[in-house]
Amino acid sequence: MQVSIKQAPQVAYFSSRVPYRRSPWILKPDILAPAGVDILAAWVPNRGWQRIRDQYLLTDYALISGTSMSCPHVAGIAALLKAIHHEWSSAAIRSAMMTTAYLYDNANGIIIDMETGTAGTPLDFGAGHVNPKKAMDPGLVYDIEVEDYINYLCGLNYTSNQIRVLTGTSNFTCEHANLDLNYLSFIVILNNTNTTSFNFRRVLTNVADCSSIYRAMVNAPEGMKVVVQPSTISFAGTYSKAEFNITVSINLGTDTSPQSDYIEIFGFLSWYEVNGQHMVRNSIVSAFAP
């Protein structure tokens, strides 16, 4: 007898989608983790659950769904990584989880969006589904310093007082305001146009215990051109750094019209370790701004 296997994981219909509109230059969501869908959970017995006409049914148990189950999964994995790598920053831990996440379900297809029943995109599942084992040894990470965050807040036109409240320091200037944070994903916003180009600068940090060489490989759809310079980067040892630039050019032609919501094409930049086992994957997305 053949038993059908439901495709898993999937993006739950209640999962957060698309970038944060106040700061669309950072691709969101970050990552997918196990959520609670129709979980039979204990319920407050004196609080009504199911409405029947003008009354509510009281119960000791209820079927509950929500991303509150995803949060402890990710927090636990982050705590595990911090326990193993005491010296890693929060940004390095997030990078390790995101660049090692997986995109394919148990049917070897792109993770499905439960709401549409079709393959999801980085605006649905972010970097993919978290993989704790691979996150422990990512090879490379995108680290971010406090100064980088301050420069980004300056680029968002936060006032000095607002930045002071957020950072707890007044020892800063906005001389180097910059919206190009050293983030591990790339998003190009199309504002009432079908063509645009943007250059990103990134710095990678080697967290492996040896020297290494990585080569870039780009998977881009029609309408997206990606150039990485240099396409090969070298690391002398642990915590050594290497800089690269990536230029993303978008030309959607004349058949596509700007939409009122995020409609995207996407690809990936992957760094493969030469004669090694590490692979660092980054999402590249272009989207119409709402």
The 10s digit of each residue's pLDDT in 34-65 is: 877 888 888 888 887 777 888 888 888 888 88
Mean pLDDT of 11-29: 81
The domains located in the chain, with CATH, are 10-40+62-144+181-288 (2.60.40.2310), 145-180 (no CATH)
The larger pLDDT score, comparing residue 72 to residue 50, is at: 72
pLDDT for 259 beyond 80: no
In this structure, of 68-72, 137-141, 255-259, the range with the lowest mean pLDDT score is 255-259
pLDDT for 256 beyond 70: no
pLDDT digit string (tens) for 235-251? 999 999 999 999 999 98
pLDDT band of 213, cuts 50, 70, 90:
very high
- Helix axis angle for 90-99 and 70-84, nearest 10°, is 110
Do 99 and 212 touch, CB atoms closer than 8 A?
no
With a pLDDT cut of 90, the percent of the chain lying above it is 56
pLDDT digit string (tens) for 85-143? 999 999 999 999 999 999 998 888 899 988 888 888 898 889 999 999 999 999 999 99
pLDDT number for residue 2: 43
pLDDT digit string (tens) for 216-239? 999 999 999 999 999 999 999 999
Q: Which residue has the tokens 């790339």?
A: 186
The larger pLDDT score, comparing residue 94 to residue 24, is at: 94
Do 247 and 151 touch, CB atoms closer than 8 A?
no
pLDDT number for residue 3: 45
pLDDT band of 257, cuts 50, 70, 90:
low
Indicate the average pLDDT of the chain: 88
Q: Residue 43: is it exposed, middle or buried by C-beta count within 10 angstroms (0-12/13-18/19+)?
A: middle
pLDDT for 254 beyond 90: no
What DSSP string describes 61-85? EEEEEEGGGHHHHHHHHHHHHHHH-
- Whether the bond into 221 is cis, omega within 30 of 0: no
pLDDT number for residue 99: 96
